[in-house]
Amino acid sequence: MRIEESVKLDFKDVLIRPKRSTLDSRKNVDISREFTFKWSKKTFAGVPIIAANMDGVGTFAMAKAFIEDGNGLSVALHKHYPLKDLQGFYKENGHESVWYSIGMVKADEEKLDEFIKKGGKPDKLCIDVANGYSEHFVGFVKKIREKYPQKTIMAGNVVTGEMVEELILAGVDVVKVGIGPGSVCTTRRMTGVGYPQLSAIIECADAAHGLGGLICADGGCTVPGDVAKAFGAGADFVMLGGMLAGHDQSEQEVIEEGGKQYLQFYGMSSSTAMNKHKGGVAEYRASEGKTVRIPYRGSVHGALQDILGGLRSTCTYVGARRLKNLSKCTTFIRVSQQLNTVFGDN
Ligand code: 5GP
């Protein structure tokens, strides 16, 4: 047994210090980014925020709303759409705004192979497992990279620099970072495993950038300020679940009760998801996700305005003319939890 003594931080443990700035309006801030991916050599241009590949978030309707919004945000589609529906979506909307998600199960890989064989062009792949630390996962990533050298691959999840490096060397363009911070995740409670998300982002970004790779901070953002903190910490992309759930674009039924409207939101390894997609919870694995009800919030366009407006405003507070410079302009100050959870009005 060993104890690591250095303190690791979460979003709630810090605030961003304002700095003298020449920017007079948040309209003058550019929050889009351009990347060339290390392995695929493909390029990305747009606001680097990705809707999580979860039921109620990673939907076709969300992708269409993002296209309409025009800021270049993207959606990691949940992996439960039938092939026929995926073919229709890509034919109609192209591949720019979506990531095609797979897990390590054979059926996912076969569906992807068939999609491509039949002329589908999923340019960006998201290989998603709860625990990105297994040798088997690294082997799987290598296999997909060899099979599809020109696809952009995002894969995870991990939380430490050495594993980020191993995945990038195995062929990953964007490493997904986050174990346990998700709003409907119970991994920390069920297993005791996890890593405070802000420190995970700082350490993993450093490791990835040293090798010419990128990271996507996945999970734990609950307010627009958290998204800004994730970018300030060095994230290249930020993935959002709960913040984008509960909207018209969730493709889910609105529940009416006591004069209020709700939507169900659940983790993708919750018993709700497993019952829906796999016909029950497999005996050997505990459910590591929970099911919650969230108030119905109308169209996602309002939430997007808040998130993007908040991010622009952060950039003006620290003098970053472009999102690319936000991390260089960020000084985090540590605060007591109480200070940061009681948000003032100004
Ligand atoms: P949020 O933005 O809601 O805080 O976090 C979204 C992320 O939570 C997802 O992108 C995914 O990585 C993670 N997640 C989604 N469902 C589950 C689950 O059932 N269990 C765990 N451990 N994590 C989940």
Q: Which two tokens stand for residue 105?
A: 């199960």
The tens digit of pLDDT for each residue in 161-182 reads 999 999 999 999 999 999 999 9
The yes-or-no verdict on residue 341 having pLDDT over 90 is no
Its pTM stands at 0.96
User: Tell me: the pLDDT tens digits for 280-332?
Assistant: 777 666 678 999 999 999 999 999 999 999 999 999 999 999 999 999 999 99
320 lines ligand 1 (CB under 6 A): no
* Residue 283: predicted pLDDT: 64
Q: Which residue from 164, 163, 200 is spatially nearest to 179, judged by alpha carbons?
A: 200
pLDDT score, position 287: 72
To test the pocket of ligand 1, the residue of 10, 54, 244 to mutate (highest count of ligand atoms within 8 Å of its CB) is 54
Ligand 1: nearest atom to the Cα of 176: 12
Q: How far, in Å, CA of 288 to CA of 191, rounded?
A: 9
Query: How much is the pLDDT for 344?
Result: 47
Question: Does ligand 1 come within 6 angstroms of the Cβ of 59?
Answer: no
Tens-digit pLDDT profile for residues 38-64: 999 999 999 999 999 999 999 999 999
Rounded CA gap, 62 and 235, in Å?
22
**Catalytic positions, written as ranges:** 185
* Contact 158 CB / ligand 1 (< 6 Å): no
pLDDT at residue 345 is higher than 50: no
In the reported structure, the alpha carbon of residue 26 is separated from the centroid of ligand 1 by a whole-number distance in angstroms of 31
Average pLDDT of the chain, as a whole number: 95
Residue with the smallest CA separation from ligand 1 atom 10 is 52
Please work out, in degrees rounded to the nearest 5, the angle formed at the alpha carbon of residue 185 by the alpha carbons of 187 and 202: 80
Contacts of 11 (CB under 8 A, 6+ apart): 197, 198, 220, 221, 222, 225, 226, 229, 230
DSSP assigned state of 249: G
- Residues 338-343: what's their mean pLDDT? 54
Residue 86 has pLDDT above 60, yes or no: yes
What pLDDT, on the 0 to 100 scale, is given for residue 337?
Answer: 67
Distance 44 CA to ligand 1 centre (A): 24
Sign of CA dihedral 220, 225, 230, 236: positive
- Give the per-residue pLDDT at 340: 56
Report the atom number in ligand 1 closest to the C-alpha of 186. Answer: 22
> What is the crossing angle of helices 224-232 and 300-318, to 10°?
50
135 alpha carbon – ligand 1 mean position (Å): 22
Contacts of 175 (CB under 8 A, 6+ apart): 154, 155, 156, 158, 164, 167, 168, 204, 208, 213, 214, 215, 216
Q: Helix-strand-coil percent breakdown of the chain, rounded to 5?
A: 40, 20, 40
Q: What is the pLDDT of residue 21?
A: 86
| Rounded CA separation 230/225 (Å) | 9
Task: Say what percent of the chain tops pLDDT 90.
Answer: 91
Give the model's pLDDT for residue 84. 97
- Residue 56 Cβ contacting ligand 1 at under 6 Å: no
Averaged pLDDT for residues 229-236 = 98
CB atoms within 10 A of CB 286: 13
Look at residues 218, 3, 222, 10 and name the one whose alpha carbon lies nearest to residue 101: 218
Cβ contacts of 122 within 8 Å, gap of 6 or more: 86, 90, 95, 98, 100, 112, 115, 116, 151
Q: Does the pLDDT of residue 338 top 80, yes or no?
A: no
- pLDDT exceeds 60 at position 339: no
Split at pLDDT 50, 70, 90, the class of 12 is very high
Alpha helices in 211-336 (DSSP H): 224-232, 271-278, 300-318, 326-329
DSSP 147-210: H-TTSEEEEEEE-SHHHHHHHHHTT-SEEEE-SS--TTB-HHHHH-----HHHHHHHHHHHHHH
- Residues 213-230: what's their mean pLDDT? 98
Q: Is the CB of 219 under 6 A from ligand 1?
A: yes
